Structure 1
Amino acid sequence: MRSGFRWRQGAGDATRGGSPGARRIAWPRTLAAKRNARLLPEHLRFVHEEAHGGVLHCFVLDCSGSMMRGQRLALAKGILIALFDQARATRAQVALVCFSANRADVRFGPAVPRWWNERWIAPVGGGGGTPLTLGVETAAALLERASRRRPGQQRCLWILSDGRSSGSPIRPASADYVAFVDVEEGPLRIGRCAELAREWGGAYFPRDAFGNI
C-alpha cells in the first residue's frame, strides 16, 4: 500500500503498555489512537506476549450485485489481500466471511495461515442483493465462538463493502474493534458505511485510504 492505512512493526514503549520485550502490536488500541490519520510510530500500542491470547482479524467481504459496478469487488479483494498479509505478518488468526444474495459463508478460519490462497476468493462472484445483516450475524457468531475458546484474545472485525444495503445490523458484542472499508464510488453515494461506523463507534476507511494496491 502506497499511502493511507499502513501497519508497521515497532519497539515497545512503557507509557503505552509496551516494553523492549513486547513486540506484538495491540491493534484495537493502536487503530483507536490512529483514528483516520496515517499510522505513525507514536500511534503504536503494544501488549506483553504472556498477557494476552493473541489477535483474531475477521474479514467480511460484500460480494453482492452492487459490488460489480466500477470494479468495486475487485478493489475490495485487493484491499482484503493486503490486510490479510499484514495480519499474517503478525501471526494473528484470520477468518473470512463472504456474503451475497441470500447467504453468508465462512470461507476460512479462524486460523493462523501460513500463506494466502487465491482460491479463498477466486470463486467469489458478485450477484444478488446485499444481505449485510446476514454477513454481520455470521461474523458475530464466529467471533462469539472464538471468545469462548480464547477469552483473552483481541477480536477485530473488518467489513469491506459499498454499503448498498437497507439492513440495520447490530454491532457484534464480541468484536473489540470494528472497521469499515468503504469501496463506494461515484457522485451519488449513500454513505452507509460511514454511518454505521459512527453508530458502532468504529473506524472508517474510504477506498482511497489504501492508495494504489
Structure 2
Amino acid sequence: MRQDRLRAAHLRFVREAPRGGVLHCFVLDCSGSMLGGQRLALAKGLLIALFDRASAARAEAALVCFGGAGADLRFGPAVPRWWNERWLRPVGGGGGTPLASGVRQAAQVLERCARRKPAQQRWLWILTDGRSGDQPARPLNADEVVFVDFEREAIRLGRCQTLADAWGAALFTPEELIA
C-alpha cells in the first residue's frame, strides 16, 4: 500500500551489464618458458574457464597468442558460443617471449573495437610467466588490465608484478582465478 513505509525487503539490486557490452581480450604467452612445469597447459585450462564465463555473460572475447618470433590473433573478437578445448589443444609453445608483439597485436584489436563500439568496456588479460625483457606500454584502449602470473621458478624475476604496477593493473596467480 502507498502508506506503507519503505523497507529493505522492498528493494532489489540488479547488476546491469555495460550498455555497450564487454570485450575480454586474452593475450597468451606460448613461449618456450611456458612449456616448463606444465604452465602452458594450466594457462589453456584457465582460458577455457574464462571463455566459458565470457560466453555465459554474452561478452565478446579475443585471443592473441605470442611466442617464437611474433604474435597472431587466433580468435575473435566474437561471442565465444562454440569455444571448446579441442580448438585450444593445437596451440603449441616454444621459442622466445615477444611480449611487446603480443601487446601490440592486442592493442590493435582493442583499438578497432573502440572505434566500432565506443561504449564497450574492454578488458585486457595477459597470461604469462613474465620471462621477457620487453617493457611495452599499456594499450590506450584497455579499460581494465589483468595480469595472470605463471612464474613458478625458485628465483622469481617479478616482471609481471613490475608491469602490473606500472600499468595500474590487477595481478593474480592462476590459482586465485580458478577458485
Whether TM exceeds 0.5 here: the answer is yes
Return the letter of the residue paired with 1:90: A
Residues 1-213 of structure 1 mapped to structure 2, 5 A cutoff: 22-25=14-17, 52-211=19-178
Counterpart-to-counterpart distance in 2, 1:141 and 1:162: 23
Counterpart-to-counterpart distance in 2, 1:177 and 1:127: 29
| Aligned-pair CA distance for 1:25 | 4.4
Residue of structure 2 equivalent to 1:29: none
SS in 1 for 2:101: helix
| TM-score (norm: length of structure 1) | 0.75
Give the number of the structure whose alpha-carbon radius of gyration is greater.
Answer: 2
Counterpart-to-counterpart distance in 2, 1:76 and 1:25: 27
SS in 1 for 2:33: helix
**Coordinate RMSD, CA, aligned:** 1.7
Q: Does the CA-based 8 Å contact 2:48-2:84 persist in structure 1?
A: no
Counterpart-to-counterpart distance in 2, 1:56 and 1:127: 28
Q: Does the CA-based 8 Å contact 2:54-2:79 persist in structure 1?
A: no
Q: Does the CA-based 8 Å contact 2:48-2:85 persist in structure 1?
A: no
SS in 2 for 1:180: strand
Q: Does the CA-based 8 Å contact 1:108-1:120 persist in structure 2?
A: no
What's the CA shift string for 1:120-178, capped at 9, x where partnerless? Answer: 32111110000000000000000000000000000000000000000111100000000
Residue of structure 2 equivalent to 1:10: none
| Aligned-pair CA distance for 1:24 | 3.4
Q: Does the CA-based 8 Å contact 1:184-1:207 persist in structure 2?
A: no
| TM-score (norm: length of structure 2) | 0.89
SS in 1 for 2:124: strand
Counterpart-to-counterpart distance in 1, 2:51 and 2:162: 25
| Aligned-pair CA distance for 1:211 | 4.7
Q: Does the CA-based 8 Å contact 1:98-1:135 persist in structure 2?
A: yes
Identity of aligned residues (%): 63
What's the CA shift string for 1:60-105, capped at 9, x where partnerless? Answer: 0000000011011011111111111111110000000011111211
| Aligned-pair CA distance for 1:207 | 3.0
Distance change in 2, residues 1:211/1:142 (3 Å): closer
Q: Does the CA-based 8 Å contact 1:182-1:205 persist in structure 2?
A: yes
What's the CA shift string for 1:13-58, capped at 9, x where partnerless? Answer: xxxxxx95854345xxxxxxxxxxxxxxxxxxxxxxxxx2100000
